[in-house]
Amino acid sequence: MKLFWIVTFILAACGGGSLDVPTSEIINDDAIVEVPSTGQPAPFASESNLEEPAPVEKKIRKSGNISFQSQDLDKDYAQIKGLLPRYKAYIENENQSNDQYRRNYQLSIRVEGAYFDSLLNAISALAWRIEYKTANIDDVTAQYYDFKTRIENKNALEQRYRELLTKANEIKDILEIEKNINEVRTDIEMMQGQFNYLSSQIQYSSLNVTFYEELPYAVNSAQKKGFGNRILNALSNGWNGMLTILVGFVTIWPFYLIGFGIFLLIRFLRKKVNKNP
């Protein structure tokens, strides 16, 4: 009986000991791993040193067309020329043509890309009646940097060939390297020409301007003034047409001689056949 009470007392003591563990000791492990919000560890060096790639500058090629009717052709032409210095533009080509109905101007203008829209709007403001207006924007960024990279690579390849040329001793090797250098140089010059042309189109946009002035009715329709004049014009045109036909007949006189000669020859041969049946 005593043994039973001793065992019971020991078990109670052990159980109570486990329950009497201080709360601070239980939380202690969590406190070790807890990190204050103000003391977060610094990010990895590889993440902090990562740099975003520099933005690529876009390369835009612009072109446009505008056609309009003018009330005063010479005045509008002078005003357009006066606008060009303000917008860093110049006339690359111009053509003037006249007929009995209208006078025309065709201008090919090159303008710095940044001023393209402003110049197009300024010319539009001068127009009396716009017939059509277009503006095209072509993103040639990929093409531009592709040309640039290929040219740089070709230049580097040429440089390596030239370094090898200084170290070559045998004639065969020298000739082979020089051949490769010439091929690379040809490729560079071809690509450089295309690159320069593309760069020029990017820097200076193209704007085609066409404008015309209708001539007055009295100038371009004189033959429509009245019935009598129209009759006289018809008679004059008929007489001129007949003269043209007569001149045409006279022009082919050698064929008349040839035909007459053939006729005489056939007649002679027939007579000869009839005499000798």
pLDDT (tens place) for every residue of the chain, 277 residues total: 443 443 344 344 444 444 343 433 333 444 334 444 444 444 444 444 555 666 778 899 999 999 999 999 999 999 999 999 999 999 999 999 998 889 999 999 999 999 999 999 999 999 999 999 999 999 999 999 999 999 999 999 999 999 999 998 999 989 999 999 999 999 999 999 999 999 999 999 999 999 999 988 544 454 455 667 778 777 778 888 888 888 777 787 788 788 888 888 887 777 777 666 5
Q: Which domain holds residue 82?
A: 60-140+205-214
pLDDT score of 57:
86
Distance CA 149, CA 155 (A): 10
* 146 and 136, same domain (yes or no): no
* 131 and 67, same domain (yes or no): yes
Distance CA 35, CA 162 (A): 62
Q: List the structure tokens of 57.
A: 């500058």
CATH number of the domain bearing residue 111: 3.30.70
The residue among 165, 157, 163, 142 whose CA lies nearest residue 187 is 157
pLDDT score of 126:
92
Please give the tally of structural domains in the chain: 2
pLDDT score of 247:
77
* 78 and 159, same domain (yes or no): no
pLDDT score of 29:
42
Who's near 130: CB < 8 A, 6+ residues apart? 66, 67, 68, 124
Sign of CA dihedral 240, 246, 250, 251: positive
Give backbone dihedrals phi and psi of 274, rounded to 5 degrees, phi first.
Answer: -70, -30
Q: Domain for residue 187, yes or no?
A: yes
Q: Domain for residue 128, yes or no?
A: yes
pLDDT score of 53:
63
Instruction: Report the relative pairing of strands 89-98 and 102-112 from DSSP bridges.
Output: antiparallel
Q: Domain for residue 119, yes or no?
A: yes
pLDDT score of 187:
95
Who's near 256: CB < 8 A, 6+ residues apart? none
Q: Domain for residue 150, yes or no?
A: yes
* 157 and 132, same domain (yes or no): no
